[in-house]
Amino acid sequence: MALTAEQLDRLSIALVSMYEAAELAMLERIAHSLASGIAAPDWQLTKLNELQLLIGRERRLLADLAGLSSREIADAIMKAYNLGQASAMASTAMAANGPSAASVASAMRVRALVAEATMGIVGSHGRILRSFEDIYRTVIADASGVAMLGVETRRQAAQRALDRFANQGVVGFTDRLGRQWEARSYVEMSMRTTIHKASIQGHVDRLQQRGHDLVIVSDHSQECELCRPWEGKVLSISGIRHVEVRTAGTLAEAEAAGLFHPGCRHTIGAYFPGVTEAPTRTADPEGDAARQEQRRLERGVRAWKRRDAASLTPEAKRQAHAKAREWAQRLREWEASHDLKHQGFRSSVSAAR
């Protein structure tokens, strides 16, 4: 079989962490800038005057991030392609003789995947910048209304506004369906789809080079409606006729009908008539529910990490940090009692701060 979803997710950890760190650092810079001079009577004016300078700095930081992230995206997708090839070698049990040249067509397809992912992720930087300005202005506006009531009230109003942004995730990425995402989940989702496609491509290319035409679709526990009709089905890569086995169509037909849709966890492997056993049903509703709760607790940890970053006072910071650790503890207990693997990169809370 080609690689599992978990193996593939690992390829985008570095990139995903990069965006999570960028999001937290941005919140920290906003909080730091707004907290300074908050007691001064002309705070609102001073802060608005500083805004253009701050936007300039954010723009430069995002340009640096774009460079790093483009390299990381290309690297992760190439790795996925190569791993897809390697796993095909293993399944056809032939001597490994190093990566061989991919066809021009498949090299173009991989390049298109890199371009698509880069455009989606680096292309979102404009929205991140607008989001920065939006948060900054909104917090000032919210805190200015209560200026007459004193500094403490102003600070509280500013913190409430910042917390609201921190809770939902700063960046407010919107996908084509209009759904809102926090930065890291958006990056995670777009990379998962692209990396999955690249690994399948690598797998298929290598099978073809080996003269192997038949593949079988995995049966995944996290059912996707679109893929269910294809589970356990044998497909032909080239579309040539096979007499010894009945195929359900070509790989391209299955893909056109929805197999490997965005977010899909299905995979394929080489099929040998009379040898390969069809995958058995693996529906696991309890496991799915446990994993969903795990994801919810992970999101909670991350929301409190953002609150921590967006703190205006040491007191607020201590509280948010304690909350983040409390949620992290609940997450670990849930994982331990439900036999789930801890995915530290999704929810790590540093103990140092």
**Interface residues toward Zn ion, by CB under 5 A:** 224, 227, 264, 266
Spatial contact of 85 and 16, defined as CB atoms under 8 Å apart: no
Tokens of 349: 């809370």
Least Cβ distance, residue 266 to Zn ion (angstroms): 4
**Secondary structure element (H or E) that encloses residue 174, with its range:** strand 173-174
**Of the candidates 125, 233, 102, which has an alpha carbon nearest to the alpha carbon of residue 173?**
125
Least Cβ distance, residue 312 to Zn ion (angstroms): 45
Closer of 8 and 227 to Zn ion (Cβ):
227
Closer of 43 and 230 to Zn ion (Cβ):
230
Q: Return all residues near 34 (Cβ < 8 A) that are at least 6 apart.
A: 47, 136, 139, 140, 158, 162, 312
Tokens of 43: 């705070």
Measured CA angle at 252 (ends 251, 253), to 5 deg: 90
Closer of 265 and 306 to Zn ion (Cβ):
265
- State how far the Cα of 18 lies from the Cα of 16, in Å rounded to an integer: 5
Least Cβ distance, residue 228 to Zn ion (angstroms): 8
Least Cβ distance, residue 104 to Zn ion (angstroms): 29
Least Cβ distance, residue 254 to Zn ion (angstroms): 10
Closer of 225 and 286 to Zn ion (Cβ):
225
Closer of 38 and 264 to Zn ion (Cβ):
264
**Of the candidates 336, 337, 331, 252, which has an alpha carbon nearest to the alpha carbon of residue 299?**
331
Closer of 98 and 285 to Zn ion (Cβ):
285
DSSP class of 234: E
Least Cβ distance, residue 147 to Zn ion (angstroms): 54
Closer of 2 and 171 to Zn ion (Cβ):
2
Closer of 8 and 264 to Zn ion (Cβ):
264
Whole-Å CA distances, 266 to 72, 185, 246, 320: 24, 20, 21, 39
Measured CA angle at 313 (ends 312, 318), to 5 deg: 115
Least Cβ distance, residue 5 to Zn ion (angstroms): 10
Tokens of 173: 């990425």
- In DSSP notation, 98-127 reads -PPPPPHHHHHHHHHHHHHHHHHHHTTHHH
- State how far the Cα of 10 lies from the Cα of 14, in Å rounded to an integer: 8
